[in-house]
Amino acid sequence: MKTQLLKTLPAAALAVTAALALSACGGNANGSSSAPAADAKAASCPGGEITFGIEPYEDPAKLKPAYDVLAAALSKKLDCPVKVQVVEDYAAEVLAMRNGKLDIGQFGPLGYVFADQKAKAEPLVSFGTADKKLSSYTAGIWVPKDSPIRKIEDLKGKSLALGSVGSTSGDVLPRFGLREAGIADSDLKMDYTGGHPEALLALKNGKVDAAEINSQTLATAVSEGTFTKDDFRLVWSSDPIPNDPITVRGDADPAFKKAVKDAFLGLEPGDIAMVGAFLDVTPPGPLLEVSKETYTPLFELAETMNLTEKDL
């Protein structure tokens, strides 16, 4: 009926009708619309800049250049500057997101548990392998090859270098392994060194009897030639842990959340390669979508270990 009605209108009336239609849609002479484009820009770039927080799971001086590459690719996708901030520690990142200082943030799996509880962080993506499977890593406890320590039960009364308080693989999982072996925290001397590389260095320098070294730090150290596996022995390893989620602030605009997720999912493996090397994802694949359910084992671990945000 609409087609028949248009046929009956004079040519001049049709011209006016078309002009009014374009005006109502915010269009121009080419039929494009500027308003939706402006709305999309505002949704993907609130405040004119996106802040991206990173926990210092490696030397910040090494992490920052790698994440700047990823952020530049993300910025291009979103047409919005993305600023990387390597925060002081796990607790600082949770607090920053809760206070609206971070728009997006990569958390360690256990750090995400508390970011979910305290900052309503929502996981968007994590790191995929070249065959497009979600990557994972393991916590481990290592000793010198000539050590009399042969298994985790032998650590009673010994000294153990750990990474940072609240770290998934650098603190909680090794202590969980000790608990399962019947060893209380008070049954050995635990030395928090400040990070995974520092724990590895304490072992290399003979400062401790054993150290936590997760598979990510191990891969980096081996590739850099700073650790020779044949000189040491693995006495305990955790089950695989799903790799770090990249999250978005829970109170962010839904349109922003979607825009950021789509941008992450659209990145090329080359955009992620430098970061992937720190996470033992080499060669990398694309970022893959994850959800809260992906990290259910970490929520269960936090409950089993009676952890609170004060343990970060």
- Give the model's pLDDT for residue 47: 76
* Claim to verify: residue 170 and residue 48 sit in the same structural domain: no
4 found inside a domain: no
Q: What is the CATH number of the domain that holds 118?
A: 3.40.190.10
- Give the model's pLDDT for residue 19: 37
CB 58 within 8 A of CB 167: no
Low-confidence ranges of the chain (pLDDT < 70): 1-42
Classify residue 72 as exposed, middle or buried by CB count within 10 Å of its CB (0-12, 13-18, 19+): middle
> Of 195, 219, 238, which residue sits at a domain end?
238
Would the pTM count as exceeding 0.85?
A: no
The tens digit of pLDDT for each residue in 154-190 reads 999 999 999 998 899 999 999 999 999 999 999 999 9
Q: What range defines the domain where residue 206 resides?
A: 139-238
- Give the model's pLDDT for residue 42: 60
- Give the model's pLDDT for residue 308: 82
* Claim to verify: residue 274 and residue 157 sit in the same structural domain: no
193 found inside a domain: yes
- CA–CA dist 26, 20 (Å, integer): 10
275 found inside a domain: yes
* Claim to verify: residue 124 and residue 265 sit in the same structural domain: yes
* Claim to verify: residue 178 and residue 198 sit in the same structural domain: yes
The tens digit of pLDDT for each residue in 75-126 reads 999 999 999 999 998 889 999 999 999 999 999 999 999 999 999 999 999 9
The b/e string for 227-248 (b: 16+ C-beta within 10 A; e otherwise) is beeeebbebbbbeebbbbbbbb
> Of 223, 238, 253, which residue sits at a domain end?
238
- Give the model's pLDDT for residue 311: 73
* Claim to verify: residue 154 and residue 225 sit in the same structural domain: yes
Question: What percent of the chain has pLDDT above 90?
Answer: 79
* Claim to verify: residue 128 and residue 87 sit in the same structural domain: yes
* Claim to verify: residue 115 and residue 251 sit in the same structural domain: yes
* Claim to verify: residue 210 and residue 246 sit in the same structural domain: no
What is the helix (H) or strand (E) element at residue 143, kind and residue range? Answer: strand 140-144
Question: What percent of the chain has pLDDT above 70?
Answer: 86
- Domain count of the chain? 2
